[in-house]
Amino acid sequence: MAPQSGQAAYPKHQTKRDHRTDFSNLRSLPCILAVRDQTRQCTFRNRVSVLLAAIVIGMFFVTSAPAQEQQHGYSEYTDWFGGAFENGHAFSSTVGGRNYQIESRYERLMYWNEPFAVRWVFDLVPVALIGDRYTYDGHRAYAYGVGGSPVGAQVNFVHFHRVEPFLTSGGGFLYFNHRMFGTTQQFNFTAQLGGGVQLFTPNRHSAIDIGYKYHHISNANLGNRNPGLDSQMLFVGVSLFR
């Protein structure tokens, strides 16, 4: 009988040791988690530092233009008038809307190396006239908005002297004088992508711009609903180079 009692006592001692081991592991868990968090934070800081350094170096090389680029106009001042001829439905469900805009753009030459020229674009929209079908009686009502697009880019294909095709894009906002598209929002975000041609004068101090763009307006789901407005627009304007 004695051996049986010894065998029975052994699992009890083993269970106690297992419990002590579990409690020890639990006490060390916060330390392990703290070390892991510190490691992740260090890795994150290192990656951010590398990214910032890459951005600074990239901006240095982009803005350090070669001497031959001094022949080109570094600053471009543009006025565009655009109107929608049809609604798109890539990002919105609105039909029967209207969109007319006046844009004042400033473009800064950042890179020139044939066949491409890249410009940063700041776009001011002093007049945006939007025909909104989401009204209480179902009839189109026009709203007045103002806004801008501080983040934009334009890429010109500079192989030809008098004609330059280009692509342009931008993102910004518009603030309207009343709530838009049957929502609670007067503030809306915008995005646009388009292209066209610039027809230069012989001295290249000015150009006529003609083009097409796909324009999107929405509240980015900040309102109670978000039907938005997509517009296929044609535009014409004048650019001056300095």
Q: What are the tens digits of pLDDT across the range 67-86?
A: 344 456 789 999 999 999 99
How buried is 24 (Cβ within 10 angstroms: 0-12 exposed, 13-18 middle, 19+ buried)? exposed
CATH classification at residue 151: 2.40.160.20
**117 and 48 within one domain:** no
Q: 18 falls in which pLDDT band (50, 70, 90)?
A: low
User: Which of the two residues, 237 and 114, has the higher pLDDT score?
Assistant: 237
Q: Reduce the DSSP state of residue 59 to 3 states and report it.
A: helix
Total domain count, the chain: 2
DSSP labels, 65-114: --GGGGGS-SEEEEEEEEEEEEEE-SS----S-EEEEEEEEEEEEEEEET
**161 and 133 within one domain:** yes
**47 and 101 within one domain:** no
**78 and 12 within one domain:** no
* pLDDT value of position 171: 95
28 pLDDT above the threshold of 90: no
Pick the last residue of a domain from 64, 83, 102.
64
Domain extent for 3:
1-64
CA distance 115 to 164: 10
**164 and 143 within one domain:** yes
**95 and 202 within one domain:** yes
**209 and 98 within one domain:** yes
Q: What is the pLDDT of residues 149-180, one digit of tens each?
A: 999 999 999 988 889 999 999 999 999 998 88
Q: 212 falls in which pLDDT band (50, 70, 90)?
A: very high
CA distance 233 to 212: 6
User: Which of the two residues, 228 and 38, has the higher pLDDT score?
Assistant: 228
**190 and 141 within one domain:** yes
Q: 226 falls in which pLDDT band (50, 70, 90)?
A: confident
